[in-house]
Amino acid sequence: MRNIKLIIEYDGTAYAGWQVQPNGVTVQETLERSLAQMLGGPVRLHSSGRTDAGVHAMGMVAAFKTEKNLPLRAFSDGLNSLLPRDIAVRGAEEMPATFHPRFDAVGKHYRYTIFTGRYRSPLQRLYAWHCRRSLDVAAMRRAAGHFVGEKDFAAFRGAGCAAKTTVRRVEAVDIAAAGEFLQLDVRGNGFLKQMVRMMVGTLVEVGTGRLAPDDVRRFFETPVPAAKGVTAPSHGLCLVEVYY
């Protein structure tokens, strides 16, 4: 059996997230349908993880097994000709039979984009969260330092998160300001459900002055505090890369 790894970019606007589910079309089922069409039978894609409805990806990783003797190009250019315009394969690679996109991942890089303009922006509406209030970036950077390290992120898991442990290692939270945009780059060894969006929501609370930078420390205390700040909307988030 061949084990084929795909690197996938998608605009999540029209999808109910990555994973197959009863309500709404998902990215996974759209890819599986195109693969089945190409391979002449059902295919199961295993991914590096899920993304919520509306979240985008530049580097989602998924893999599938097949006996078919098609060239790798079939799984990039060929698949791209079957996929809708908001999903594309950026690369296909032959992997050892033991490779698994989720179990073998050692880290992920997410990017969150905030637009701080006075008026809402039609050209940014699908890819950036519009925060009208002015944000204290220096305070956000100080607060971001509290996320870095191996910590218990129990306060930063969304409802329905099924992870067995809530301990994760965040390597870096970098905040770049350019004109009316803030770009938050978050890297770590793994993330709980909605963890990045809850981190960003908390940092924006700090940016507006509703929380002090050191208040973030409280969220890592036991017992986990009830007030968790806001969850940033999904459309500002993009999975940039999965590391192996």
Residue 183: CB minimum distance to a copy of itself, A: 14
Mask for 56-85, x = binds a copy of itself (CB under 8 A): x-x-----------------xx--x----x
The strand ranges marked E within the chain are 2-10, 46-47, 56-66, 87-95, 107-115, 129-130, 149-152, 167-178, 181-188, 237-243
Q: Does 137 bind a copy of itself (CB under 8 A)?
A: no
Task: Let me know: does 206 contact 136? Beta carbons within 8 Å.
Answer: yes
User: Annotated binding residue at 110?
Assistant: yes
DSSP string of 62-89, one letter each residue: EEEEE-----GGGGTHHHHHHS-TTEEE
Q: Which is nearer to a copy of itself, 81 or 222 (CB)?
A: 81
Query: Does the active-site annotation cover 52?
Result: yes
Q: Could you give the CA distance from residue 44 to residue 220 in angstroms, rounded to a whole number?
A: 38
Two tokens, residue 190:
């793994």
User: For a copy of itself, which residue of 6, 16, 89, 114 counts as binding (CB under 8 A)?
Assistant: 89
Query: How many chain residues interact with a copy of itself (CB under 8 A)?
Result: 25
How far is CA 202 from each of CA 69, 83, 136, 162, 206, rounded to the nearest angstrom?
A: 49, 37, 13, 22, 6
Give yes or no for residue 179 binding a copy of itself (CB under 8 A).
no
Which of 90, 133, 210, 217 is the binder for a copy of itself (CB under 8 A)?
90
Q: Is 104 in the site for a copy of itself (CB under 8 A)?
A: no
Q: Which residues bind a copy of itself (CB under 8 A)?
A: 9-11, 56, 58, 76-77, 80, 85-91, 117-123, 125, 127, 238
Instruction: Show which residues are catalytic.
Output: 52
